[in-house]
Chains A and B, each alone.
Chain A
Amino acid sequence: MTYELIAFALFAFVTLTSALGVVLLADPWHSALMLGVTLVSVAVYYVMLAAEFVAMMQILVYVGGVLILITFAVMLTQRDETETSEVVQT
């Protein structure tokens, strides 16, 4: 019983810290990685709440689909602030 409470507190700390990392980090790619940590740790609560199927769907849909799509978008749109200075005159 108390072990479950300890696990809950630990994973709540992980979730909240990584969610704060998502909104506070400057680089969108770091934010996407932190979003992955958040989504995986949210799946832990689903397992603790006897929702194993929803936890598996969380991993598959969010981490396997949504996070990959966000990674695509980050990598396709990321170089505007780093390389714009090199290609000004064309």
Chain B
Amino acid sequence: MTTGPRLRLGESLLPGVLAVALFGVMALVVLNTSFTTQMADAGYPEGISITSEIGYAMLDLTALQSTEGNVGNTEPFLAAFILIAVVLDAALDASLVLAKRESEGQPVAALTSVSGSPGSTDSSQVATTDGGFGDEAETDVAREDASDTETGGEDR
């Protein structure tokens, strides 16, 4: 089963040329740009804790923020913090909806093929992602296995 790493080359000449050309254009842009901020601004002042400054910026605690150097110019980010929290919640709900399986052995509505998909030729046999190939020889217990895998799908 273990195979050595093989490279997968061929049929990718045009995207390769495209990517290299894009890199060439962007490198040209960068090398012709002069980054003329004062070099004294680079880096952070000595006596501050960067982690706590990140925390102050993230939670809008501008009163606690250090004013040394340019650190005081850090923008507050509380609204973005809340938005990211909402987005993570939405991602959790979306992955739950995608992982759910409906009770008749039919897949959920998202991304269902209409007819003749290669996975759904036999209605009593659900295409599972886990252990789907093991129980295909016995047709009499296929129903039972299908119900088993359905509960597995619910768990996931």
B51, A90: Cβ atoms closer than 8 Å: no
| Stretch in contact with the other chain, from B1-9, B30-38, B72-80, B103-111 | B1-9
Proximity bits, B36-76, A CB within 8 Å = 1, else 0: 00000001100000110010000000000000000000000
Residues in B lying within 8 Å of A, measured CB to CB: 1, 3, 5-9, 43-44, 50-51, 54, 122, 125, 129-130, 133, 136-137, 139
B54, A90: Cβ atoms closer than 8 Å: no
B1 surroundings in chain A (CB, below 8 A): 82
B129, A87: Cβ atoms closer than 8 Å: no
Which single member of A25, A50, A53, A87 contacts B8 (CB below 8 Å)? A25
21 A-B pairs in the complex with CB atoms less than 8 angstroms apart: A21-B5, A24-B7, A24-B9, A25-B5, A25-B6, A25-B7, A26-B7, A26-B8, A27-B3, A27-B6, A50-B43, A50-B44, A50-B50, A53-B50, A53-B51, A77-B129, A87-B133, A87-B136, A90-B125, A90-B136, A90-B139
Given A53-B51, A53-B54, also A79-B7 (CB < 8 A): no
A51 surroundings in chain B (CB, below 8 A): 50
